Structure 1
Amino acid sequence: MSKGKIVGAFATSHSPGISGWPERADEAARLAVLDAFAEVRRRIEALEPDAVIAVSVEHFTNFSLSNLPAFAIATGDRYLGPVTPEMAQFLDVSQRHHPGAAALGSHLYRAALDNEFDPALVEGGLEFDENFSVPLKYLDPEARLPLVPVIVNGVNPPWPTPKRCLDFGRMVRAAVESQSEAQRVVVLATGGLSHWVGLPESGDINVDFDKDFLDRLTDGDADRLTDYTAQEIDAAGNGAHEIRTWLVAAGAAGTGFDVLAYEPVPAWLTGTAVAAARL
């Protein structure tokens, strides 16, 4: 049997407003973003993946300040999202269970340890907030794709460095290529771009930061992608640290990305983007 391969890599924002109050955005911006989600869905369906490694942050739904790992890998058979009926109503996403790719998740965890990463292991019970629930509403509306959820700390300092996140993605690619159970694997990163959470600047968007980051992502040069200090990312908001998930996807893809949409949407409180790796 042939070894596994990453056949696609995508990155999207996950603002609750995308699904919860799309009508508040400018019509042209809303349509551009939703059309990009539809395009990613078409591409994923055409790739016919055996599993999706889904990389995001989480917003203290499963972890807390007393237990906040830099990285975590889940190995469950299924995942509930959104976590509560109230959150489902807030996000306008039907609560459902997503299937898990447990064997691939276990392999990825072992590979991480073998490669000097020490992620937290979540063997069951990981629940989704907007991190996965918002994009999957558009990319997997029938909850058919088997998932390996990966969590990166992008919500509270200290964070893993950008280079560490890119290297984690490279480890993901090597891990996929060293197993044969899931032969066709897609990586999906969600989060960002610029936004402020729970701060007076909420609703502001740092367009310059967003466009510069997307330029680096398009270029695909690892040095440029990881040449950020925490302070430089802070200039785009505490929520901008979620770009670490995109760096994991970039490391897994090993190539540049095409930007399918970028819209600064104050009504969604986020610089909103959708991108696809040139694989």
Structure 2
Amino acid sequence: MADLVLGLASSHSPQLSTPAEGWAGRGERDKGHLELIGTDGITSNFEDLLARCDASRIAKEITQEKFEQRHQQNQKAISHLSKKLHDAKLDVLVMVGDDQQEYLLDDNMPAFCVYWGDQVKVAGHEAGPSTGGQHLIGYHTEDQYAPTDSSFGRHIIEQLMESEFDVGRSSHLDPRKGGRAKGGIGHAFGYVYNRLMTGDTIPTIPIMLNTYYPPNQPTPKRCHNLGQALQEAIASWPKDIRVGILASGGLSHFVVDEELDQAALAGMQAKSVEQLIALPREKINSGSSEIRNWIVVAGATEQLDMTVVDYVPCYRSPAGTGCAMGFATWE
């Protein structure tokens, strides 16, 4: 029987791999964002958000000293998770992440999609405007091909169907598709390969959630139920292997919402479905929608205990834009 021995969760924002001196530049580019969800739940452009925010409080969060301090916190937490992943000696890693029209496009975007091909392409990172013309720290510039576990992936698909989850499935990545991942797996998964798998590449099963795009975003309760069904599917695999599950994404962004993040973390630590269902739905959209990935892992690891390794609210502009980085383990 497969044994689910470890859960991990990590933000995957490019800001994690951007040197501290590049954060203000990312904040400048936020001025062009037209749909920023404020901590009040109101969606607006940058200027309107700036007019509503607590400018004096945020001014203390966007100094170069703060940028450097939080950058170092992030790197320490990434190293911690990477070591946990390495030390666990996993045979398979189930990865739960969102696809932002990188592979799954509007021609067919299921709420849940399990990949069960023999390998995945991880697109190399190219310098561009979003990174100030510099390659991201720790990212490969060339395309990579990473192994997956197709037989275990098929088993998970079959067991989820038995659990009445009508999941989408994909057995190959189409290089002809016009998504941003250049025919490869999306950045939620690329982050894991580039920043967390520092040793030998672990065979994976990528599970893609449509956290971003209405009208078929799964509810927090449905995500939690999916996690429970995944745990059952893993436990029913007859091979004696060690399995981990990882959530990639979150926490609140593109506006940092510390109250939302703490409510989500508290609900997961308490193993409280009621607290997770109570999260304000108008706020878990856009980048903050990736909290759903964490909820799936929380549902899958109810037999384990969650530890928040670090919570790092990385502000980058006077309007409070940025990304709140979260790092957690279940053991």
TM normalised by structure 2 equals 0.75
Q: Out of 218-227 and 80-89, give the one that drifted further.
A: 80-89
How far residue 43 of structure 1 moved from its aligned partner, in angstroms, is 1.4
Map 1:191-210 onto structure 2 (within 5 A): 191-196=249-254, 204-210=255-261
- Which residue number corresponds to residue 269 of structure 1? 322
Deviation per residue, 1:167-202 (Å, 9 max, x gap): 101111101100133611000101111113xxxxxx
Q: In structure 1, the residue corresponding to 2:166 is in which secondary structure?
A: coil
Q: Tell me if 1:228 matches 2:279.
A: yes
- Equivalent residues in 2 for 1:1-279 (5 A)? 3-21=1-19, 23-24=21-22, 26-82=67-123, 85=126, 91-92=136-137, 93-94=139-140, 95-125=143-173, 127-142=184-199, 144-158=201-215, 159-181=217-239, 183-196=241-254, 204-234=255-285, 238-254=286-302, 255-267=304-316, 269-277=322-330, 279=331
Q: What secondary structure does 1:269 align onto?
A: strand
1:19-46 per-residue CA deviation (whole Å, 9 max, x = no partner) reads 2445535122112111111111111222
Tell me the equivalent position of 2:46.
none
Please state whether the residue corresponding to 2:282 is helix, strand or coil.
helix
Helix, strand or coil for the counterpart of 1:230?
coil
> 1:167 touches 1:251 (CA, 8 Å); kept in 2?
yes
Give 1:138 shift.
2.1
Q: Are the structure 2 counterparts of residues 4 and 152 from structure 1 closer, same or farther at C-alpha, using a change threshold of 3 Å?
A: same
Larger radius of gyration: 2
Give, in whole Å, the separation in 2 of the partners of 1:220 and 1:51. Answer: 25
Counterpart secondary structure, 1:216: helix
Q: Which runs of 5+ in 1 are unaligned?
A: 197-203
For 2:34, the equivalent position in structure 1 comes to none
Per-residue deviation, residues 118-164 of structure 1 (Å, max 9, x unmatched): 11110111722321122332210356110100001111112111111
CA distance in 1, matches of 2:230, 2:95: 11
Equivalents in 2 of 1:72, 1:265: separation in Å? 31
Check conservation: 2:98, 2:290, Cα contact below 8 A: yes
Query: Given residue 218 of structure 1, which amino acid in structure 2 is its aligned partner?
Result: Q
Q: Distance in 1 between matches of 2:16 and 2:307?
A: 21
The alignment yields a C-alpha RMSD, in angstroms, of 2.2
Task: Give the Cα separation in 1 of the matches to 2:87 and 2:74.
Answer: 20
Residue number in structure 1 paired with 2:61: none
Asked if the contact 1:55/1:152 (under 8 Å) is kept, the reply is yes
**Residues 15 and 270, structure 1, Cα contact 8 Å, conserved in 2:** yes
Q: Offset of 1:208 from its aligned partner?
A: 1.4
Give the match's secondary structure for 1:64: coil
More displaced, 143-152 or 266-275? 266-275
Distance in structure 2 (CA, Å) of the matches to 1:66 and 1:21: 37
Unaligned runs of 5+ in 2: 24-66, 174-182
Q: Normalising by structure 1, what TM-score?
A: 0.88
Matched pairs, number = 266
